[in-house]
Structure 1
Amino acid sequence: MEPGAVDMVVVEGERHTTVLLSGEMDRASCPHVRSRLRPLTGRPLVLDVSGVTFFDAEGMRTVFRCARVCEAEGAALALVGVRPYAAKVFRILGLDRDVPLCGSMEEALWCVLPRTDEEIREWLSG
């Protein structure tokens, strides 16, 4: 992978889309990332950034804007696999109030998918 490049794998699920990102989310790569994410924002979206080795301000802005577009379209976005330093910066900037930083895919799905009554009953019953 060339410097400043981000690899993206899109996995379409029955009720959501998962995007696996790897590389560096920076000023050089974000225009491409934004153009690839834009068509995916109409349904619940989980960004797995466990392969992202670096976020600059433009990378964080890209994630935040994508979350805003999802929200405007009636969908939700969550992040999973955020490395500790990036998570700290997301929290310092207050971006975690709009973009859930999840510890697992299961947690991310709880954040983005509306639950059925049956799923809620099952969860409550333990």
Structure 2
Amino acid sequence: MRQQSPSPTRHLHVRRDRGHTVLEFRGEIDIASAEEIAPRLDRETERPDALVVLDLSGIEFFDCSGLRLLYRARSQVLDRGGRVHLVCAHPLTLRMLRITGLAGLMPPRPTLEEVLGVSRTAERRTGR
């Protein structure tokens, strides 16, 4: 079941989908939008045992400020026993993720459906 929650920023849309919190980044993610996104990102990633998907399919531009947001979200989720997944198919962003090593920490999947399918299979295997 999908649930949407109001988003105070036009650059981050938050919704629930099949037990996951999906954080959809939108538009240009730069230093200005990162400041807008950070408080909402923190609220959504500080929950214990959260299942979080960082979805970059709606971005047009992504710089190092966006990379910092992704790393911050990953750290917060993992520190609280949760799991985090990344959706990204944009070639330039994928290149940045590979160059910085972030793709090794959060292997990107091309679609949200692939992430949710992989996650559900893993949950069945681990009994969660």
TM over 0.5: yes
Distance change in 2, residues 1:12/1:61 (3 Å): same
1:13-52 paired onto structure 2 within 5 Å:
13-41=17-45, 42=47, 43-52=50-59
- Given candidates 38, 54, 65, the residue that maps to 2:61 is 54
**When the two structures are aligned, how many residues end up with a matched partner?**
115
Whichever structure has more strand as a proportion of its residues is: 2
Give SS of 1:74's match: coil
Which segments of 5 or more consecutive residues in structure 1 lack a partner in the other structure? 120-126
Q: 1:44-90 deviations in whole A, cap 9, x for unaligned?
A: 11122111111111111111111111110111222213411010110
Cα RMSD after superposing both structures: 2.4
Q: Which structure 1 residue ranges, 4+ long, deviate > 6 Å from structure 2?
A: none
- The equivalent of 1:108 in structure 2 is 115
Task: Give me the TM-score of the superposition, normalised by structure 2.
Answer: 0.77
- Return the alpha-carbon distance in structure 2 between the equivalents of residues 112 and 60 of structure 1: 26
Which segments of 5 or more consecutive residues in structure 2 lack a partner in the other structure? 1-8
- Return the alpha-carbon distance in structure 1 between the equivalents of residues 83 and 101 of structure 2: 17
Is 1:64–1:99's contact at 8 Å kept on the other side of the alignment? no
- Return the alpha-carbon distance in structure 1 between the equivalents of residues 76 and 94 of structure 2: 21
- The equivalent of 1:78 in structure 2 is 85
Instruction: Specify the structure having the higher radius of gyration (Cα).
Output: 1
Task: Give me the TM-score of the superposition, normalised by structure 1.
Answer: 0.78
